[in-house]
Amino acid sequence: MDTRDPRWLNADEKQTWLSLTAMVINLSNALDIQLQRDARISHFEYQVLATLSEAAERTMRMSDLAVLTNGSLSRLSHVVKRLEMQDWVRRTPDPDNGRYTLAILTETGWEKIVATAPGHVEEVRRLVFDPLTQAQQRTLRAISHRVNQAIVPTDTCRLD
């Protein structure tokens, strides 16, 4: 058991922390609202479709897709089931190893992501990039990289 006193945040650190958590929550909500309004999908569903759209042959193992979308395999499975009902994704056993399941972006799913991406990227630009100078964008990238490395201390952190 750790008997050291907690390293409480000082006033400046507390304000930084509160600002950061508000930004993360507000940004997530804003992106969800835009995608629901314009494309009738959640931000997580968009992440799944976008990640598959960038994968080789638009195909990925479900376990790898879960890691890259920062979702549990259970959550991903539920979302992919919904995406299958829209004919945007299909699942099939991995022919190289039947213990794995592949998620495949269908042609209809490709069309959905192509139609949805312009509005989404415009919202990302409006909310994140337009308010910042190029120097601030570089600083944000560096800070995000450092925090992500503290959370996931490997070179596989996709959000860097």
Q: Which residue has the tokens 């042609």?
A: 107
pTM listed for this prediction = 0.86
Domain that holds residue 79: 15-129
Is 6 within a domain?
no
Task: Identify the pLDDT of residue 53.
Answer: 98
CA distance linking residue 54 with residue 65, whole number of Å = 11
Using one digit for the tens of pLDDT, what is the confidence trace for 64-119?
999 999 999 999 999 999 999 999 999 999 999 989 999 999 999 999 999 999 99
* Residue 13 pLDDT exceeds 70: yes
Task: Identify the pLDDT of residue 153.
Answer: 64
Is 106 within a domain?
yes
Is 2 within a domain?
no
Using one digit for the tens of pLDDT, what is the confidence trace for 19-72?
999 999 999 999 999 999 999 999 999 999 999 999 999 999 999 999 999 999
Is 88 within a domain?
yes
Task: Identify the pLDDT of residue 112.
Answer: 98
Distance of CA 160 to the CA centre of its chain: 12
Residues 6+ apart with CB under 8 A from 69: 44, 47, 48, 51, 76
CA distance linking residue 74 with residue 142, whole number of Å = 32
Is 143 within a domain?
no
The total of structural domains in the chain comes to 1
Structural tokens at position 128: 């994140």
Task: Identify the pLDDT of residue 98.
Answer: 87
83 and 104 Cβ atoms separated by less than 8 Å: no
Is 114 within a domain?
yes
Is 4 within a domain?
no
Is 104 within a domain?
yes
Residue 66's CATH number: 1.10.10.10
Task: Identify the pLDDT of residue 160.
Answer: 42
